[in-house]
Structure 1
Amino acid sequence: MEDQTPQEQASPEVQKRIRASFDRQGLMSHLGARISHIALGRVHIVLPSRPEVTQQHGYFHAGATSAIADTAGGYAAFTLFPENTDVLTVEYKVNLLAPAVGDHLEAVGTVLKSGRTLTVCRLEVFGVQDGRQSLVANGQQTLIRIDGREQ
């Protein structure tokens, strides 16, 4: 999903830190999700369609949809945090707007306000089928910066 506002590319160091952290996430690996875009304050995560991430009607499961939304927002915030810090979700809310269908889902986390301690992100999830995108979920998230953690 392309945003209308240009995003500054994250430095190679920030991208490396984000990817290294993401690679340690067992759930994202289990789901088959991957990071597709890292900019300062914005991260995209793609989840390919497969039976293991669907519910009984064949739609992407709300848990998988919400998990990639939460993770995209967390890493969007993390792009703005200094080294030797970490990020944890304090709360998030996701509205499921339509059945999540497509070749894959793309979650987009965008920082709305980055503070010294708390950061707020917009969460969007798009179903993508044959290159056409449809918004299937949106939400908001609050994250906390944890200082002094090893990466």
Structure 2
Amino acid sequence: MGRTRTYDWEDPSVSAGAVGAATGLEMLRDLVAGRLPSPPISRMMGFRITEVDVGRAVFTLEPGEEHYNPIGSVHGGVYATLLDSAAGCAVHSVLPAGVGYTSLDLNVKFLRTITAETGTVRAVGTVLKNGRTTCLAQAELLDEEDHLLAHATSTCLLVPLKPR
């Protein structure tokens, strides 16, 4: 007997079209409030942005079998996706209107195994240094008891956006 999982998503061009029109923090607050649709990656993987403030973003995920690798634990790519999202959105939260970013690197350290029994995990991203052309952020992946499961740092390139 196989297992199945279905999901749906909204047109990603709606959120993409909002990038740069307002500050990064305003856009992210619209995502949290549901005024902008969640990106397809979050629907596919089952995570969501739950908190955002200046220089900080939090994502949550309830890990399940659908996230497993062949050895029966959550795949490292899931860790990396959560950490990249939290660090990137922390950077996005400090951007003025008309400025975007792209990740230059992501350095992940895996510290503990995650399984479906781990319970809800959260990735907390924070900005460490906001420069003129680059921004350095970190993200921590934590379980419900605040045990550190993984850590990442990310450097993001800040780019002026063309008016849409």
**TM-score, with normalisation over the residues of structure 2?**
0.74
Q: Indicate conservation of the 8 Å contact 2:54/2:94, yes or no.
A: yes
Q: Secondary structure at the match of 1:43?
A: strand
Structure 2: gaps of 5 or more residues: 1-22
Deviation at residue 58 of structure 1 after TM alignment: 3.4
Secondary structure, aligned partner of 1:138? strand
Q: Distance in 2 between matches of 1:23 and 1:145?
A: 24
2:52 maps to 1:51? no
Q: Looking at secondary structure, tell me which structure has more strand per residue.
A: 1
Q: Matched residues in 2 for 1:36 and 1:125: separation?
A: 14
Q: What's the secondary structure of 2:95's corresponding residue?
A: coil
Which residue is 2:17 aligned to? none
Residues 1:146 and 2:156 aligned together: no
Aligned-partner SS, 1:75? helix
Q: Which amino acid aligns with 1:83?
A: A
Q: Which amino acid aligns with 1:17?
A: M
1: CA distance, partners of 2:40 / 2:121: 19
User: In the alignment, which of 87, 94, 99 is matched to residue 73 of structure 1?
Assistant: 87
**Do residues 118 (structure 1) and 134 (structure 2) align?**
yes
Runs of 4+ in 1 over 3 A off after TM superposition: 13-16, 19-24
Identity of matched residues, %: 23
Aligned position for 1:136: 149
Question: In 2, distance between residues paired with 1:71 and 1:111?
Answer: 13
Answer with 1 or 2: which has the greater Rg.
Answer: 2
| Cα 1:57/1:113, change in 2 over 3 Å | same
Q: TM-score, normalised by structure 1?
A: 0.80
Instruction: Output the aligned Cα RMSD.
Output: 2.4
Distance 1:16 1:30 in 2: 24
Letter in 1 for 2:109: N
Aligned length: 137
